[in-house]
Amino acid sequence: MNLELLNETAVKMVTPGQGLLAADESTGTIGKRMASISTENNEENRRDWREMLFRTDKAMQDHVSGVILFEETLTQMAKDGTPLADLITKNDALLGIKVDKGAKPMALKSGETITEGLDGLRERLYTYFEQGARFAKWRAVIEISNPDHSWNATPTYGAIKANTQALARYAALCQEANITPIVEPEVLMGGYHGIQTCHDVTEQVLKSLYADLYEHGVKLEGTILKPNMIVPGKRCPTQSSVAEIAERTIQVLQDTVPSSVPGIAFLSGGQDNIEATENLDAINKIGGFPWKVTYSYGRALQQAALFAWGGKSENYDDAQKAFNHRARMNGLASIGKWDSSLETV
């Protein structure tokens, strides 16, 4: 393990004013995105969509420190035969790779999942490193049940522990292969729960995560955390202010995340475009924390560009303009310099 390399990668991933483009949607997930613009989910269309993003040089150079890829994309060629990976690295962005195999139902635990993919991971990681990947991502999914369903309350301690142990095993394997791990324990925001419940569950998950990372010998200075923000569930009748979201998010992170972690790159988790930007900006405007705080957004960076593109080559310029704009807005938010007036320019 080359800790200097792992730390160098982690620090670059959270370069001020930059963040991560999560372009690692599985074939099924990107199919849903394609369906939303009435476009067939085939390899050519997936390639054209991602190629358009990676050729948006202004966004890629100024506001993207790295790109998380699905395995298909790591070795895929652009229409002109250029490796898509080369389009990323020519703009001084790092190559990342999603290595988990998705969340599957846990045995004997209704409504809870465990992320799979540890079998054969060591060998895959060495191959990914040879192909140019310098960081990886593994996502654990934590579901909060409807408060009315006290008879089946989730998450359970067992499900949290199983997922954080898997994250720690993954992270250790990554560092062995000199790949910097992103650890992503996502507490989902789609439920009925209030912000206090999200606060409590996220705190429990992160405490479990860092205990397990320690037990597995993972060097925190060679990692990045990709957490959810502290928000109420989308179906909760009481929604919180931006100020409360920022304050609670910082509080939970300060109570759980060691200062040796170089950076935190938030997932958007179903927030809409401007909401994700505004909340990130509010967190950075408060500041005062030991880690760099930025974004690792998929939909919140891509959605506007996706609808502008609509699966049609004649819309290429409009799609790139939309991607440039969202990348710039989030780049500003990552240093606490975003303002809503910039959205109308």
CA distances from 10 to 65, 179, 234, 269, 329 (A): 10, 10, 32, 22, 22
51 is catalytic: no
What distance in Å separates the CA atoms of residue 96 and residue 132, rounded to the nearest whole number?
8
Q: What are phi and psi of 302, to 5 degrees?
A: -100, -25
What distance in Å separates the CA atoms of residue 337 and residue 334, rounded to the nearest whole number?
8
Selecting among 25, 226, 278, 292, the annotated active-site residue is 226
226 is catalytic: yes
Angle between helices 27-36 and 299-309 (to 10 degrees): 50
- Provide the H-helix boundaries in the chain: 3-13, 27-36, 43-54, 57-63, 71-74, 84-89, 121-130, 157-176, 195-215, 242-256, 273-286, 299-309, 316-333
What distance in Å separates the CA atoms of residue 167 and residue 71, rounded to the nearest whole number?
19
User: Is residue 293 classed as helix, strand or coil in its secondary structure?
Assistant: strand
What distance in Å separates the CA atoms of residue 182 and residue 179, rounded to the nearest whole number?
10
On whether the CB atoms of residues 6 and 134 are closer than 8 A, the answer is: no
On whether the CB atoms of residues 332 and 342 are closer than 8 A, the answer is: yes
Selecting among 25, 112, 184, 278, the annotated active-site residue is 184
| Residue 146 neighbours by CB distance under 10 Å | 15
Catalytic residue numbers? 184, 226
